[in-house]
Amino acid sequence: MKPAKTRHIRQVPHSWSQIPWGEFYREALIKHLQPCLARMYGFHLLKLGQLSAEIDTESCAISHQVNVGLNGDNLQVIAEPGSLPFESKSVDACLLAHCLAWSSDPHRILREVDRVLIDDGWIIISGFNPFSVLGVGKLIPGLHRKVPWNSRMFTQMRLMDWLNLLNYEVVQRTRFQVLPWNRQGGKMISTHFPALGCLSIIVARKRTFPLIMNPAKKAAAKRRLSPAVGATSQYRTRQRHQDSD
């Protein structure tokens, strides 16, 4: 897996208002996340990072929602997303709204989220799409140092690869275009060319069973089944002899 760790990123926004057109992005994320949040259940929801804390999650049935981050006014827990002060398997869902985009070590955050999530827990990841009108700005000299172009824009395939290694099942993924380009073809991009949308969302669930059983476990399962199969065969043989008598 290609390393994702990098040097500390300068000019990290601590609010959507610090991102050009950030309020448009935030409102679009809230709208697209509502159907997914409505299907979640459990006791504890973690919203990692200040940008996640500003996402309205009232549509989620999980009542206890905790905002975690290092900077912000509406945080309940002050901590780094890569070092969460929670017990293992104690959280039902985690929201990472552009949390990985300005992280110097996204692998560490994902491993920490995996540690605190319960079995079958939910993880939601949003970010900017590198193959979009917005993503092209990273190629412009000087612009790539400014927000939001200084963020790390991961492809969905790369994020899915990381989640697969942690044994997560992706249950939903989408990309869509957002203002201020709606008047200039944004709706057409979202409808007919979603792969070019500037925002990306991935929803996945933590699975405890391997998707493909390895040879050792397959052999062990066969050994456990063999006595039962043998006993069943002997019983059927005796029944046939009794019926013939």
Mean local confidence (pLDDT), 165-189: 77
**Is 127 strand, coil or helix?**
strand
* Distance of alpha carbon 74 from alpha carbon 58, whole angstroms: 15
Paired with 170 in beta bridges are 204
Give the whole-angstrom CA distance, residue 59 versus residue 41.
11
Q: Pick from 78, 87, 79: which is nearest to 115 by CA?
A: 87
Q: Which residues pair with 95 in a beta bridge?
A: 47, 124
Choose among 46, 50, 48, 52: nearest CA to 12.
50
Structure tokens that stand for 141 in this block: 């000299």
- Residues 193-220 have pLDDT tens digits of 667 889 999 999 999 876 555 565 556 5
Instruction: Give CA separation, 42 vs 61, 86, 135, 198, 236, in Å.
Output: 8, 16, 36, 31, 47
Strand order in the sheet with 64-69: 77-78, 64-69, 44-48, 91-97, 117-128, 199-206, 168-176
Write the Ramachandran bin of 72: left for phi over 0, alpha for psi from -120 to 50, otherwise beta. Answer: left
Q: What is the pLDDT of residue 221?
A: 47
C-alpha–C-alpha distance, residues 205 and 123, integer Å: 6
d(CA 53, CA 55): 6
For residue 73, the model assigns a pLDDT of 82
Helix (H, G, I), strand (E, B) or coil at 58: coil
Structure tokens belonging to residue 37:
């949040």
Q: Which two tokens stand for residue 131?
A: 């193959």
- Per-residue pLDDT reduced to its tens digit, 109-146: 999 999 999 999 999 999 999 999 899 899 898 888 89
pTM over 0.85: no
Mean pLDDT in residue range 31-56 = 96
Distance CA 150, CA 178 (A): 19
Distance CA 197, CA 174 (A): 9
Instruction: Compute the chain's Rg from CA coordinates.
Output: 23
Of these ranges, 132-141, 160-169, 171-180, 194-203, the one predicted with the greatest mean pLDDT is 160-169
